A and B are shown apart, each in its own frame.
Chain A
Amino acid sequence: MRARLFLNVFTIEARKLMSYRADFWINTLVGSLANFVLVYILWSAIYLEPGQIVAGYSFDGMVLYYVLAILLGRLVTGSGKPLDVGQEIYEGSLSRYLLFPAPYLSIKYAQRLGMMLPSLIQLAMLLGAYWIFLPRPAEVEFKALAVLQGVVALCMANALYYSITVVLQLAAFWADNVWSLVIMMVFVSRLLGGAMVPLATFPDAWQPLLAALPFRYCFGFPIDTLMGRVPTHEWFFGMGVSLAWFGLMCVLGRAVWSRGMLRYSGVGI
């Protein structure tokens, strides 16, 4: 896909999202704040003693983890907006994309990145608010290398989450409605990925499984990297696992797409 075309799709999608400004701001500000207040209250009920450490996190560290989980989670999941791939296959509106001078899934990815642009602005604002109003954990030291590694891990997380979602949505070539399949993935990835609770709080016996599954690399891994909790050699290993999952999803996606296109009638169901 040509860079100019990619940029055009990206810009249109960002503008489209901003056309419902009230929705957009209400959703982000109130939704993020409501989520944050809830986890703050929940963990306040667990950190009952001063200086208490839970799974290596102080209370302020836990708060920072959730601030990042809420805000960066929006970047990973594409602001929580559905991809519509399944819907377009189901309705037959995929046909018009097949005439476009670029692969369908690249167009969808450009749209998804476009949806995220306004979220980046909000992310900067809300992180600024955190920096001003909330105490920073003593154990977290923001180093340039960790931030750089975190940003790379975040980009990878976005691509990985997209690839998993696409593979599931492509099931629409066979199933009537894949909406519930995607929601199922959201539930599982949030718990096993570290968006609901840091993965370090899981029992030790679970850690190898969590490290092998792709979900950790969507949420917990980039957040812990940014917080400086992932040593460089572990980061390389994590990125390797992440890339392997991404590669597998791409191969799977390509195979499902090819088989699905043989079935696709273009008239919708």
Chain B
Amino acid sequence: MLRYLRLYRSFLRFSFSRAMEFRVDFFFRVVMDLMFYITQIGFFAVIYGHTRELGGWDFDQTLVFISGFFLVDALHMTLFANNLWMFPFLVNKGDLDYYLLRPVSSLFFVSLREFAANSFLNLLIAMGISAYALWSYPGATPASQVLLYLALIANGAFLYYILQMLFLIPVFWLHSARGLSDVFASFTKYAERPERIYQGYVRRVLVSLLPLCLIASRPAQILFEGPDFWTLVHITSVTALFFLVLLLFWKLAVRSYSSASS
């Protein structure tokens, strides 16, 4: 474990020095994510101009929910996004060889090699938006509930990473992950809307087979309505199960990897 922490510290040092070399890109990426936040809030502001509630939530609640999603997105962008973007190229060009030869877990190395220092600033901005949303939310939210909510948001970021990785791994067989990657991008929009707008089978799928509602929506629901033992068990067990599936899928994929011609 200590070895992995030391290794991650090296990743951080390397990533920060690289980010400082491309200062304009650093600035553009910060503004880009800021635009994403503004357009999402703007979208809901327009929608709430025509309805009082959406999926049982008023605008204040939706603001808390969407700011929670921003936290998930910023964590994902900071820790995983750059690495996952590069991953299909590593497989196609045969560069994954270098990762497989290292004396550490290849999945760890592929997923966390690059820390996006520019997105780290956005993580701070997302935290600011989230703090504002929680502060302006008129309902009672005890500190313990807020802490639990933040833990579930961190879990949501991890689940988001797992799901994206599961959509990318087929690149070992399909040679191009573009189609599936775009499909995943389309599906992630389901995570950006309140869970209770979904009904019947769609909702069941979104909390089990493709658990996008567990990323930010369910944690927000727990924050507003208080913790429920079975909901917590549900979220943690689904995350654990998907992580297990990812590990097995990764093992299977690496076994079928044939270097440059893969």
Residues of B within 8 A of A175 (CB): 24-25, 28
The answer to whether B50 touches A38, judged by C-beta atoms less than 8 angstroms apart, is no
Tell me which of B28, B49, B51, B193 contacts A181 (CB under 8 A): B28
A23 to B182, CA, bound (A): 9
Q: Which of A48-76 contact B (CB under 8 A)?
A: 54-55
Q: Does A123 contact B (CB under 8 A)?
A: no
A197 to B40, CA, bound (A): 11
Whole-angstrom distance between the Cβ of A185 and the nearest chain B Cβ: 9
Q: Does B230 contact A (CB under 8 A)?
A: no
Q: Does A7 contact B (CB under 8 A)?
A: no
Q: List 24 A-B contacts (CB under 8 A).
A: A22-B179, A27-B178, A27-B182, A34-B190, A35-B186, A41-B193, A45-B54, A46-B47, A46-B50, A55-B50, A174-B24, A175-B28, A177-B22, A178-B28, A180-B25, A180-B29, A180-B31, A187-B35, A187-B39, A191-B39, A191-B43, A197-B43, A201-B50, A203-B49
Residues of A within 8 A of B131 (CB): none
A264 to B41, CA, bound (A): 40
Residues of A within 8 A of B174 (CB): 22-23
Q: Which of B175-190 contact A (CB under 8 A)?
A: 176, 178-180, 182-183, 185-187, 189-190
A27 touching B183 in the complex, CB below 8 Å, given contacts A38-B189, A187-B35, A187-B36: yes
The answer to whether A20 touches B178, judged by C-beta atoms less than 8 angstroms apart, is yes
Tell me which of B32, B42, B46, B178 contacts A183 (CB under 8 A): B32
Residues of A within 8 A of B47 (CB): 42, 46, 197, 201
A45 to B196, CA, bound (A): 9
List residues of chain A with CB under 8 Å of any chain B CB: 20, 22-27, 30-31, 34-35, 37-38, 41-42, 44-46, 54-55, 80, 174-178, 180-181, 183-184, 187-188, 190-191, 196-197, 201-203
The answer to whether A190 touches B39, judged by C-beta atoms less than 8 angstroms apart, is yes
Count how many pairs of residues, one from A and one from B, have CB atoms less than 8 Å apart in the complex. 106
Closest chain A residue to B118 by CB distance? Answer: A180
0/1 interface trace, chain B 156-194, chain A, CB 8 Å (1 if under): 000000000000000000101011101101110110010
The answer to whether B25 touches A176, judged by C-beta atoms less than 8 angstroms apart, is yes
0/1 interface trace, chain B 130-159, chain A, CB 8 Å (1 if under): 000000000000000000000000000000
Whole-angstrom distance between the Cβ of A73 and the nearest chain B Cβ: 13
Closest chain B residue to A197 by CB distance? Answer: B46
Q: Does B198 contact A (CB under 8 A)?
A: yes
Chain B residues within 8 Å of chain A by Cβ, number: 37
Residues of B within 8 A of A174 (CB): 24
Whole-angstrom distance between the Cβ of B186 and the nearest chain A Cβ: 4
0/1 interface trace, chain B 179-219, chain A, CB 8 Å (1 if under): 11011011101100100011100100000000000000000
Q: Does B128 contact A (CB under 8 A)?
A: no
Tell me which of A34, A42, A178, A191 contacts B193 (CB under 8 A): A42
Q: Which of B77-130 contact A (CB under 8 A)?
A: none
What are the 8 tightest A-B residue pairs by CB atom distance, in nearest-first order?
A23-B179, A26-B179, A180-B32, A180-B28, A177-B25, A45-B197, A34-B186, A31-B186
The answer to whether A34 touches B39, judged by C-beta atoms less than 8 angstroms apart, is no
The answer to whether B39 touches A181, judged by C-beta atoms less than 8 angstroms apart, is no
A183 to B14, CA, bound (A): 26
The answer to whether B186 touches A41, judged by C-beta atoms less than 8 angstroms apart, is no
Apart from A25-B179, A30-B186, A177-B22, 10 more pairs, CB < 8 Å: A22-B174, A38-B193, A42-B193, A45-B54, A46-B54, A181-B32, A183-B32, A201-B47, A202-B49, A203-B46
